[in-house]
């Protein structure tokens, strides 16, 4: 069937600058560039280009520019170019349209409509460069009260705290499965987490043996496919996370296309190589809230009650009631993933249409839990498009204990959000399991980039906190008085629990 | 105890994550609360102490010709309004506060029992049952703070916020005897303090205890509203009670047909069935598609003389049935049955969408369901 | 580990429930919460106790979870859900029926049930063996996996409910149908739906199959596998191997190893 689809991008090469070094030909995994010996020129197959920017970055003479194909369809606000192309593509394939990374539609990003406070006159700023500024956070269940007794003149605490995770900065690496990304990426995340005193999440693909040594900085995930789940895995991690859903594709399961199931992946996941690892949506032993409780306690029993159990859900309509149920079922940490969450592969229609923004979910969950008097019983972690340290500060002010980042971490390692992760040909060596491409990502350098990112954000967080006159992050948590909304409706302000700027 | 301040809309419903248990004497002989309470208490893990309840049949033999109303009041004003409403439509034979004693329950409201008989002059062409049903809906909606727990003859619902064994203690259930006991232990999340949200749900003498969540609630609710039912309890189980009342009492459909409406087979199975059956199933589904109960559920429904257990068509919730002599047991977990009856003549897992039916006067033939039992 | 030392460690309340005779420990689980029971089992396990008998079990969950050393546990009564969840090498025998999620994500070891098992038996099994004398419920053997010499085995003496072997990726599922009448079919529907690895052997015809699988006859190699498993099964439940083997077996396998290859547009 002839494809009616035009190329999305045009490769422009300045022939005068081109020195025929063929770096672009070698670096492109989509075979966009090719060299013709006879004419001694490099040409491009525009239709293969994904705008990953690899060739642009690596061309020594900056000869390449990637331009969006200007010959688009006639402008139409309803039948946009994207919609028209999607329909034609489905007509050609009869399949579900896949995509990667997070929702890219211009919905309200509420972080951009919230502004932060600073101290002026009535309350002093605190100087973070010279004075202590505490951003350490503990995740886990906290009791409502402590009992203490005097024994022989010494104060003895009678209550023991449930197991906690210690974060030196309120940012963790979100779940990215081994299979969606290469082992080098997992290793970089593990090392960076260890160096920065925080945690990375194994995602649903299990933990490779090589990385067990970073176990006490790992949150090990148990998803519906139960890939790589056995007692050593559970006991290796610092916490266990039950994945109910993720923001990029609420209500449906994980996708690892057969192309990416290499021999190593097959070994860790224990499925035949080359088969699709399509995790079903439901965990088949969780069909009701009491089943979730059953699994939470199964994991606590399996780890002898030494590790916090986290439950990760996508942000959906009645997320507040669900969160309440999860806490009553025994979860120590609740992770909420909003509509901007990213993924290695998801049906485009679900990624862009299902789920709610995490800012609203967070605000309503935090508020509901406080109304019910159970906010202490679990920590809240939010995920889904956290882009900067200011997003982190705003999230904590709304009520989160910590945040998970994934897209930002991948961008730090080289990703340019071209959304082609599912092909397994990521030229940056990130979302691929092809060993030849995967070795382009050097874990030493990648982990250094991640450490730099966390360090930069942590310093910025301290600056913003100091600016507000706060030197301990506990005083920022849920402190909505330090936020104001701009250009938000009354309903939005009510749900977020913030006033309008100027008010 | 307050009804929740923010009246959330229908989407904000309860989760019925829980445990259910039913025990019936097939000869109609009444028995005490001990076994049902022990059984539901055994499944303690499935609830979280914020809801428990019982439906018992045959408890008022001396008043069996009158409708027994169990009503919960959140304030005196509501009681006065209810008293006036009832007086206007019924002869109140006898009424009193239901006996209670101190127990681990939270903020109990006032719960009253009335024995009433419809005022013949006002009855008109309506059946007595429909007449009572209308008044029940009126009490639930007009008084604002009174809610009817049960409204059948010679039966009653006792429920509230607490573990089921504590609810049994609170309402002195050891003083009652019935030939059907259905029990529920709940795991609510949405409105934890709300006594009206506990199970069983009932209308007239129909009671439902439910484990699961109806993702079709919005559709079911709007269909039932067309027939005069008002959903006021903020819980999806309510529609199940009303659906049974509509289909079995008003439309007189037998339970076997009702099961095919609430848990119909898939279209491809219907297409494969023998033509006459396929045609019937197709018609049922075309007519009653809005009553298809989607989402995981296992329920025990009871009314005078019958106890029925049913799960959704792809059996996403557990249900076990057991028989021993005159007794039929239906439960979320087998261990609860074994606790009260270690020996069982028959013990089986019903298939998805196929009802287990206990009827007074009909013994269940164990051979029909017997599968390989323990040989050791 | 001597009885008296253990009594001292546990305190008198627990001590009333335990006794030791000829190297076998007996625990009376009546009215014991599963947390207590499992804590006790873990303690006994860590002290090197090799054989424990549990009496009066009514619904306690997670029996066999979180144990590190080999141990034999005999359960008298009805164990609760998640029996042997995440189990790694122990031996459990149930004298009675088991409930749901038996052998959930089991890694190694053996579970033998002299009775029925409920829904979701063997979910995500990665190794070890489960033998159920009677029927099993819905969604049994979902997503069983295998790799190298880790191959889980699940043998069912009776029949199973819908979605048997859903999304199977490895291992062997054998359904003997010993309680079916001649010519009676298994009522299970959507058998093997989503299967992309492993094999299901079944005696008796199936009502409805998932679209990702096909039914075939068995080869000599298949029959050898079946016979080996049947021998073990019969050994546990005192049944006659020859009678079990003198029947016709079918094999259900995935049609393609990428059943969803055409589902997505890239």
- The per-residue pLDDT for A224 is 87
Report DSSP state, residue B31.
B
pLDDT at C7: 67
| Contact criterion met (CB < 8 Å) for C261 and A96 | no
Q: What confidence score (pLDDT) does residue B190 get? A: 59
Residues A196, A91 within the same domain: no
Helices (H) and strands (E) in chain B, counts: 12, 16
Nearby residues of A480 by Cβ (< 8 Å), 6 or more positions away: A397, A398, A399, A496, A497, A498
Please name which of A281, A292, A293 lies closest in space to residue A245, comparing C-alpha atoms: A281
Pair C41, C99 in one domain: no
Determine the 3-state secondary structure of B25 from DSSP: strand
User: Helices in chain B by DSSP H: which ranges?
Assistant: 34-42, 76-89, 120-123, 128-142, 164-170, 217-225, 237-244, 255-262, 267-272, 275-288, 334-340, 366-369
Joined tokens for residue B324: 């021993």
**What element of type H or E holds B17?**
strand B17-25
Could you give the residue numbers annotated as active site of B? 18
Core vs surface per residue B204-221: b (16+ CB within 10 A) or e:
bbbbbbbbbbbebbebbb
The pLDDT value given to residue C200: 97
Does one domain contain both C48 and C111?
A: no
pLDDT band with cut points at 50, 70 and 90 for residue B269: confident
> Dmax of chain A from CA atoms?
93
- Residues near A203 by beta carbon (within 8 Å), at least 6 away in sequence: A175, A176, A177, A178, A180, A221, A223
pLDDT in tens, A6-61: 899 999 999 999 999 999 999 999 999 999 999 999 999 999 999 999 999 999 99
CB contact under 8 A, B335 and C114: no
| Count of structural domains within chain B | 1
For residues B101 and A122, which has the higher predicted lDDT (pLDDT)?
Answer: B101
Q: Nearest C-alpha of chain A: how many angstroms from B212? A: 6
Looking at residue C1, what is its pLDDT?
60
Indicate whether A234 and A372 sit together in one domain.
Answer: yes
Tokens found for residue B300: 């025990």
Q: Are residues A399 and A278 in the same domain?
A: yes
Closest CA to A485 of A497, A496, A501: A501
Residue from A169, A236, A250, A74 nearest A465 by CA: A169
Could you list the beta-strand ranges (E) of A301-344: 309-314, 333-337
Q: Show which residues on chain B lie within 8 Å of chain C, measured between beta carbons.
A: 42-43, 45, 269, 314-315, 318, 320, 333-336, 338-339, 347, 349, 351-352, 371-376
Contact C265 A98 (CB under 8 A): yes
C19, C91: one domain: no
User: In chain A, which residue's Cα lies nearest the Cα of B211?
Assistant: A288
pLDDT confidence bin for A152, thresholds 50/70/90: confident
Instruction: Name beta bridge partners: B311.
Output: B298
Q: What is the CA radius of gyration of chain B?
A: 20
A260, two tokens:
């990416």
User: Quick check: A389 pLDDT over 60?
Assistant: yes
Using CB atoms, list chains with 3+ pairs below 8 Å to chain A: B, C
Provide the 10 A C-beta neighbour count for residue C40. Answer: 21
Q: What span, in angstroms and rounded, lies between the C-alpha atoms of A435 and C126?
A: 27
Lowest mean pLDDT among B19-23, B293-297, C201-205: B293-297
For residue B237, with 0-12 CB atoms within 10 Å meaning exposed, 13-18 middle and 19 or more buried, which class applies?
buried
Mutation test of the interface with chain B: which of A284, A290, A319, choosing the one with the most B Cβ atoms within 10 A? Answer: A290
Domain-embedded: residue B282: no
Please report which helix (H) or strand (E) contains residue A411, including its range.
Answer: helix A407-413
Where does a domain end: C69, C101, C116? C69
Instruction: List the single best residue of A272, A305, A307, A343 to mutate versus C (max C Cβ within 10 A).
Output: A272
Q: What is the DSSP string of A69-115?
A: -S--PPP-SSS-HHHHHHHHHHHHH-SEEEE-SS--S----GGGGEE
Residue the block writes with tokens 């010709």: B65
Please report whether residue A398 resides in a domain: yes
Dihedrals φ, ψ of C76, to 5°? -110, 115
List, in sequence order, every beta strand (DSSP E) within A292-396.
Answer: 309-314, 333-337, 346-347, 379-383
Indicate the residue among C43, C69, C95 that finishes a domain: C69
Q: Give the E-state strand segments of A127-194 in sequence order.
A: 137-139, 148-151, 154-157, 165-167, 171-175
Do C145 and C51 fall into the same domain? no
Percent of chain A with pLDDT over 90: 72
- What's the structural domain count of chain A? 2
Alpha-carbon span A77 to A463, nearest angstrom: 42
Phi/psi-derived region of residue C109, left when phi > 0, alpha when psi is between -120 and 50, beta in every other case? left
Task: Please indicate, yes or no, whether residues A219 and A90 belong to a single structural domain of this protein.
Answer: no
Q: In what order do the strands lie in the sheet with C18-21?
A: C18-21, C24-28, C51-58, C72-78, C88-95, C108-113, C129-132, C153-156, C169-175, C197-203, C249-254, C213-217
- Whether residue A475 is contained in a domain is answered as no
Q: Is residue B2 part of a domain?
A: no
Asked if residue C264 is part of any domain, the answer here is no
Encoding tokens for residue A88?
């034609």
Last residue of a domain, one of A79, A95, A111: A95
Give the pLDDT of residue A147: 84
Owning domain of residue A21: 9-95
With a cut of 80, say whether residue B221 has pLDDT above it: yes
Interface list for chain A against chain C, based on CB atoms closer than 8 Å: 89-90, 92-98, 224-227, 229-231, 234, 255, 257-258, 266-267, 269-272, 274-276, 278, 280, 284-285, 294, 297-299, 301-304, 345, 347, 422-423
Measured distance CA(C124)–CA(C144) in Å, rounded: 5
Task: Indicate if the pLDDT at residue B366 is higher than 60.
Answer: no
Q: What is the structure's pLDDT at A127? A: 86
Pairing mode, strands C88-95 and C72-78: parallel
Residue pLDDT, tens place only, B70-114? 999 988 899 999 999 999 999 999 999 999 999 998 889 999 999
Q: Considering only alpha carbons, which residue of chain B is nearest residue C113?
A: B374
Report residue A109's pLDDT band, with 50, 70 and 90 as the boundaries: very high
Asked if A289 and A385 sit in the same domain, the reply is yes
pLDDT digits (tens, 9 = 90+) for A215-263: 999 999 999 888 889 999 999 999 999 999 898 888 887 778 888 888 8
**So what's the pLDDT on residue B369?**
44
DSSP character at residue B181: E
pLDDT band at B375 (very low <50, low <70, confident <90, very high): very low
DSSP string, B260-275: HHHSPPPHHHHHHS-H
Report the candidate in B335, B158, A102 with the shortest Cα–Cα distance to residue C81. B335
User: Within a domain: residue A471?
Assistant: no
With CB atoms and an 8 Å threshold, state whether A284 touches C257.
Answer: no
Residues C177 and C105 both lie in one domain:
yes
Half-sphere exposure of B106 (CA within 13 A, CB side): 18
Query: A282 to chain C: nearest residue by CA?
Result: C142
User: How deeply is B367 buried, as exposed, middle or buried, from its count of CB atoms within 10 A (0-12, 13-18, 19+)?
Assistant: exposed
Does residue B144 sit within a domain?
yes
Would C179 be classed as within a structural domain?
yes
Residue B371 pLDDT: 38
Subunits that touch chain B (at least 3 Cβ pairs < 8 angstroms)? A, C
pTM: 0.87
C95 phi and psi angles, rounded to 5 deg: -100, 80
Residue C142 lies in a domain: yes
Contact C179 B43 (CB under 8 A): no
Residue B256 lies in a domain: no
How many separate domains does chain C show? 2
Residue A69 confidence (pLDDT) above 80 = yes
Write down the pLDDT at residue B189. 63
Contacts of A324 in chain B (CB under 8 A): 189-190
For residue A165, is it within any domain? Answer: no
In this prediction, residue B295 has a pLDDT band, given cuts at 50, 70 and 90, of confident
What is the residue-averaged pLDDT of chain B?
87
Q: Which of A159-168, B19-28, B343-352 has the highest mean pLDDT?
A: B19-28
> What is the Cα–Cα distance from B207 to B205, expressed in whole angstroms?
6
A298–C259 CB contact, under 8 Å: no
Asked whether the predicted pLDDT for residue B373 surpasses 50, the reply is no
Euclidean distance between CA atoms A390 and A408, whole angstroms: 13
Segment A290-345, tens digit of pLDDT: 889 999 999 999 999 999 999 999 999 989 999 999 999 999 999 999 999 999 98
- Using CB atoms, pick whichever of A92, A269, A272 lies closest to residue C196: A272
Residue B197: predicted pLDDT: 81
Residues pairing with B95 in the sheet = B114
CA dihedral C56, B366, C100, C114 (to 10 degrees): 60
CATH of residue B199: 3.60.20.10
Q: Please report whether residue B304 resides in a domain.
A: yes
Distance CA C230, CA C225 (A): 9
State how far the Cα of A467 lies from the Cα of A476, in Å rounded to an integer. 12
pLDDT band at C84 (very low <50, low <70, confident <90, very high): very high
Contact at CB, B17 and A322, closer than 8 angstroms: no
Question: What percentage of chain B reaches a pLDDT higher than 70?
Answer: 91
Shared domain for C104 and C12, answered yes or no, is no
Contacts of A287 in chain B (CB under 8 A): 212, 296, 316-317
Q: Is position C163 within any domain?
A: yes
B189/A322 touch (CB, cutoff 8 Å), yes or no: yes
Among all chains, which residue has been given the structure tokens 């013709």?
A36
> Can you give the CATH number for the domain in which C242 is found?
2.160.20.60
pLDDT digit string, tens, across residues B105-159: 888 999 999 999 999 888 888 899 999 999 999 999 888 789 999 999 999 999 9
pLDDT digits (tens, 9 = 90+) for A260-297: 888 888 888 888 888 887 778 788 888 888 889 999 99
Residue B62 structural domain? 17-207+295-369
Check residue A276 and give its pLDDT. Answer: 81
Look at residue C81 and tell me whether its pLDDT is greater than 50. Answer: yes
Contact C114 B375 (CB under 8 A): yes
pLDDT band at B213 (very low <50, low <70, confident <90, very high): confident
Please tell me which of the candidates B269, B318, B371 has its beta carbon nearest to residue C134. Answer: B371
pLDDT at B10 over 60: no
| Domain end among C26, C43, C69 | C69
Which residues constitute the domain of residue C35? 1-69
Output the domain CATH number for residue A444.
Answer: 3.20.20.70
Residue A442 inside a domain? The answer is yes
Shared domain check, C85 and C63: no
Q: What is the DSSP letter of B246?
A: I
Between C3 and C149, name the one with better pLDDT.
C149
> What rounded mean pLDDT belongs to chain C?
91
Mutate to test the interface with B, among A284, A288, A294 (most CBs of B within 10 A): A288
Chain C hits for B321, Cβ within 8 Å: none
**In the prediction, which pLDDT does C129 show?**
97
Q: A302-317 burial, b if ≥16 CB within 10 A, otherwise e?
A: bbebebbbbbbbbbbe
**Mean per-residue pLDDT, B339-357:** 92
**pLDDT of B4 higher than 80:** no
If asked whether residues A174 and A61 sit together in one domain, one would say no
Backbone angles phi, psi at A438, to 5 degrees: -60, -30
pLDDT, tens digit, for every residue of B178-203?
A: 999 999 998 776 556 778 888 999 99
């Amino acid at each position: 069937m002839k494809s009616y689809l035009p190329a999305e991008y045009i490769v422009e090469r300045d022939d005068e600058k081109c020195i025929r070094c063929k770096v672009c030909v070698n670096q492109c995994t989509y075979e966009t560039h090719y060299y013709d010996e006879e004419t001694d020129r490099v040409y491009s197959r525009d239709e293969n280009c994904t705008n990953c920017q690899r060739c642009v970055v690596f061309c020594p003479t900056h000869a390449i520019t990637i331009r969006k194909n200007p010959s688009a369809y006639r402008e139409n606000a309803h039948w946009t170019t994207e919609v028209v192309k999607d329909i034609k593509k489905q007509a050609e394939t009869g399949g579900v349209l896949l995509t990667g990374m997070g929702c890219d539609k211009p919905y309200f990003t509420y972080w951009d409509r919230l502004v932060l406070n600073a101290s002026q006159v009535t309350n002093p700023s605190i100087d973070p460069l010279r004075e202590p500024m505490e951003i350490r956070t503990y995740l886990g269940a906290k009791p409502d009260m402590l009992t203490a007794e005097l024994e022989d003149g010494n104060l003895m605490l009678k209550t023991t705290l449930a197991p906690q995770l210690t974060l030196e900065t309120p940012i963790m690496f979100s779940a990215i499965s081994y299979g969606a990304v290469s082992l080098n990426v997992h290793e970089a995340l593990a090392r960076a987490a260890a160096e920065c005193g925080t945690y990375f999440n194994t995602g649903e693909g299990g933990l490779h043996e090589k990385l067990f040594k970073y176990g006490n900085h790992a949150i090990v995930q148990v998803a519906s496919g139960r890939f790589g789940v056995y007692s050593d895995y559970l006991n290796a991690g610092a916490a266990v996370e039950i994945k109910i859903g993720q923001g990029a594709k609420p209500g449906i399961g994980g996708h690892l296309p057969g192309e990416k199931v290499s021999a190593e992946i097959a070994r860790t996941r224990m499925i035949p190589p080359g088969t699709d690892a399509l995790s079903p949506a439901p965990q088949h032993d969780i069909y009701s809230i009491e089943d979730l409780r059953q699994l939470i306690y199964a994991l606590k029993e399996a780890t002898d009650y030494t590790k916090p159990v986290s439950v990760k859900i996508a942000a959906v309509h009645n997320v507040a009631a669900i969160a309440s149920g999860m806490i009553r079922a025994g979860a120590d940490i609740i992770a909420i993933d909003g509509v901007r969450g990213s993924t290695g592969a998801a049906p485009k229609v679900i990624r862009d249409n299902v789920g709610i923004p995490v800012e609203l979910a967070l605000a309503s969950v935090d508020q509901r839990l406080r109304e019910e008097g159970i906010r202490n019983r679990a920590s809240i972690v939010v995920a889904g498009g956290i882009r900067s340290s200011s997003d982190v500060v705003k999230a904590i002010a709304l009520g989160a204990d910590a945040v998970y980042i994934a897209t930002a971490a991948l961008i730090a390692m080289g990703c340019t959000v071209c959304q082609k992760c599912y092909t397994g040909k990521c030229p940056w060596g990130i979302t691929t399991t092809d060993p030849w491409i995967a070795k382009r990502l050097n874990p030493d350098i990648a982990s250094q980039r991640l450490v730099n990112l966390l360090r930069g954000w942590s310093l910025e967080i301290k600056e913003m906190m100091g600016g507000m006159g706060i030197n301990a992050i506990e005083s920022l948590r849920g402190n909505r008085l330090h936020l104001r909304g701009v250009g938000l409706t009354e309903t939005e302000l009510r749900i977020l629990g913030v006033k309008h700027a100027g008010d | 105890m307050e009804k929740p301040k923010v009246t959330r809309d229908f989407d904000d419903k309860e989760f019925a994550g829980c445990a259910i248990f039913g025990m019936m004497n097939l000869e109609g002989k009444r028995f005490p609360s001990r076994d049902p309470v022990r059984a539901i208490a055994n499944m303690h893990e499935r609830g979280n102490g914020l809801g428990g309840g019982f439906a018992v049949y045959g408890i008022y033999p001396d008043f069996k010709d009158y409708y027994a109303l169990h009503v919960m009041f959140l304030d005196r004003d509501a009681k006065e309004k209810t008293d006036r409403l009832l007086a206007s439509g019924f002869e109140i034979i006898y009424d009193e506060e239901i006996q209670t004693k101190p127990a681990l329950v939270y903020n109990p409201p006032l719960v009253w029992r009335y024995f009433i008989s419809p005022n013949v002059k006002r009855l008109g062409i309506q059946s007595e049952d429909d007449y009572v049903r209308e008044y029940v809906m009126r009490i639930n909606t007009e008084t604002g703070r009174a809610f009817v727990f049960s409204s059948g003859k010679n039966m009653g619902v006792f429920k509230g916020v607490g573990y089921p064994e504590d609810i049994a203690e609170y309402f002195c259930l050891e003083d009652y005897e019935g030939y059907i006991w259905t029990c529920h232990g709940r795991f609510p999340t949405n409105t934890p303090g709300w006594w009206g949200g506990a199970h069983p749900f009932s209308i007239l003498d129909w009671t439902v205890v439910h484990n699961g969540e109806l993702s079709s609630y919005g559709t079911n609710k709007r269909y039932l509203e067309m027939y005069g039912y008002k959903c006021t309890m903020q819980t999806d189980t309510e529609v199940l009670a009303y659906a049974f009342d509509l289909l079995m009492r008003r439309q007189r459909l037998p339970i076997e047909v009702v099961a095919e409406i609430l848990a119909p087979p898939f279209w491809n199975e219907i297409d494969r069935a023998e033509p006459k059956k396929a045609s019937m199933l197709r018609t049922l589904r075309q007519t009653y598609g809005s009553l298809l109960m989607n989402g995981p559920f296992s329920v025990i429904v009871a009314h005078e003389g019958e106890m029925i257990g049913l799960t959704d068509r792809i059996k996403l919730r557990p249900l076990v049935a057991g028989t021993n002599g005159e007794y039929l047991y239906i439960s979320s977990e087998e261990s609860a049955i074994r606790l009260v009856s270690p020996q069982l003549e028959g013990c089986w897992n019903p298939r998805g969408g196929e009802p287990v039916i206990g009827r007074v006067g009909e013994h269940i033939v164990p051979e029909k369901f017997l599968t390989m039992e323990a040989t050791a | 580990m001597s009885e008296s030392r253990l009594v001292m460690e546990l305190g008198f309340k627990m001590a009333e429930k335990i006794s030791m005779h000829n190297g076998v420990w007996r625990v009376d689980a009546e009215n014991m919460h599963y947390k207590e029971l499992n804590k006790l089992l873990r303690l006994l396990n860590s002290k090197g106790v090799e054989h424990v008998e549990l009496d009066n079990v009514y619904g306690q969950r997670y029996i066999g979870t979180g144990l590190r050393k080999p141990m034999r546990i005999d359960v008298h009564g009805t164990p609760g859900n998640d029996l042997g969840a995440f189990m790694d090498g122990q031996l459990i025998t149930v004298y009675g029926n088991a409930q749901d999620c038996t052998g959930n994500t089991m890694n190694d070891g053996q579970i033998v049930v002299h009775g029925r098992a409920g829904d979701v038996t063997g979910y995500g099994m990665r190794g070890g063996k489960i033998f159920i004398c009677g029927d099993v419920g819905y969604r049994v053997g979902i997503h069983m996996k295998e790799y190298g010499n880790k191959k889980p085995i699940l043998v069912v003496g009776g029949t199973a409910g819908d979605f048997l072997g859903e999304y199977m990726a490895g291992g062997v599922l054998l359904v003997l149908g010993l309680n079916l009448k001649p010519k009676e079919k298994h009522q299970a529907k959507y058998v093997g739906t989503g299967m992309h690895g492993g094999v299901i052997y079944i005696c008796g015809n199936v009502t409805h199959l998932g679209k990702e699988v096909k039914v075939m006859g068995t080869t000599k190699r298949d029959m050898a596998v079946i016979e080996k498993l049947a021998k073990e099964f019969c050994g546990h439940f005192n049944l006659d191997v020859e009678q079990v083997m003198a029947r016709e077996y079918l094999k259900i396998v995935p049609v393609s190893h990428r059943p969803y290859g055409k589902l997505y547009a890239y």
